[in-house]
Amino acid sequence: MVANDAASPLLQVQGLAVTAGGQAIQRGLDFDVRRGEVLVIVGPSGCGKSTLLRHLVGLEQPAAGRVLFDGHDLHRGAEAPRAALRRRFGVMFQAGALWSSMSLGENLMLPMRLFTTLDAAERERRARFKLALVGLDGGFELMPAQLSGGMRKRAALARALALDPELLMLDEPGSGLDPLNAARLDELVLHLRQYLGTTVVMVTHEIASVFAVADRALFLDPQERTMTAIGAPQDLLVHGPAAVRAFLGRADAA
C-alpha cells in the first residue's frame, strides 16, 4: 500500500528503458521525483531528454520498466483510470501546443470544460487567474499569433496549469528565448513551486537554468545510454563524474 504523504515520492521510475525510432536511447533508469521539488533532466543533445519526458507523461510505452505516479502504473491497466492519473499533471511542450484558432482564454478553459463540472463563469475566472499568475494579465482575448516568443511560453505554462496539477512537466521551456526572458521563466517556475506547492520535472539544455531552479539534476549520458548522476547541481559540479562536471562547468565558461 502506498503512503500518500509528503515523505513518499510523487513519481517513481523503475528500471526504465526508452526507445525512439526502434533505437535504444536510455536503459536502466531508476529515480524518484519528490513532492514539492524541481527535478531537472539534463545531458548533451541526443541523449533522450525529451523522449524520457514523453515516457514520464504516458505518451510513449517503455521498452522495459515502469513509471509509477502516486503508486499507480501509468502504462498498465485500464485506460480510464490511467487517463484520470494523467489529468493530475500538466505538460508544457517545447512548441507550446496552443490551439491557434482559440484565444488564450479559450485554450485554458477547454480542459476545464472537458474534465470538470465547473460552470462557464468559474472557468473564465480560473483562466483569467492562471494567465495573471504567469504575467499575462489582460491576455484572455489574445490569439496565439499575437504573442511574442516569451508570451507564448508563458501562455503554454498557464494552459499546463489549467487543471491545478500536482506535477508539472516542462519540455525545454527556455528554448528559443533570449537570456533575459529565459531567466524570467526560471523565476516563474520557482514562484509556482513556492506558492502553489507544484512539483516540477523540467527538461533543459540551458545550464544557467539548471543552477537557477533545480533542487536536483538528473544527467543522461548518450555514450553509456543511462543515467550517470543525480543530485544537487552544485554537488554534481564538484563531486560528479568527469563528464557531468565538464557539462555543468560550461556555465562558468559562458
pLDDT for the residue numbered 7: 64
User: Domain for residue 118, yes or no?
Assistant: yes
pLDDT for the residue numbered 8: 82
Digit-coded pLDDT (tens) for 122-155: 999 999 999 998 889 989 999 999 998 888 988 9
Which pTM value belongs to this model?
Answer: 0.90
In sequence order, which residues have a C-beta less than 8 Å from that of residue 186 and are 6 or more positions away? 174, 208, 209, 212, 213
User: Domain for residue 107, yes or no?
Assistant: yes
Q: Would the CA dihedral through 74, 14, 211, 209 be positive or negative?
A: negative
Instruction: Find the length of the chain.
Output: 254
* Number of domains into which the chain is organized: 1
- Chain centroid, CA 252 distance in Å: 26
Q: Which residues of the chain have pLDDT under 70?
A: 1-7, 95-96, 251-254
Closest to 32 (Cα-Cα) out of 8, 51, 52: 8
For 135, the domain range is: 99-160
pLDDT for the residue numbered 177: 83
Closest to 160 (Cα-Cα) out of 211, 226, 88: 88
Q: Where are the beta strands (DSSP E) in the chain?
A: 11-20, 23-33, 38-42, 64-69, 72-73, 89-92, 167-171, 199-203, 216-221, 226-231
User: Domain for residue 147, yes or no?
Assistant: yes
pLDDT for the residue numbered 51: 92
- Cell 568527469 -> residue: 242
User: Domain for residue 142, yes or no?
Assistant: yes
In sequence order, which residues have a C-beta less than 8 Å from that of residue 236 and are 6 or more positions away? 217, 219, 229, 244, 245, 248
User: Domain for residue 114, yes or no?
Assistant: yes
Decide: 163 and 113 in contact? Cβ < 8 Å. Answer: no
pLDDT for the residue numbered 253: 42
User: Domain for residue 12, yes or no?
Assistant: no
User: Domain for residue 91, yes or no?
Assistant: no
User: Domain for residue 140, yes or no?
Assistant: yes
Round to the nearest angstrom and report the end-to-end CA distance of the chain: 48
Burial annotation 151-181 (CB, 10 A radius, 16+ → b, else e): bbbbbbbbbbbbbebbbbbbbbbbeebeeeb
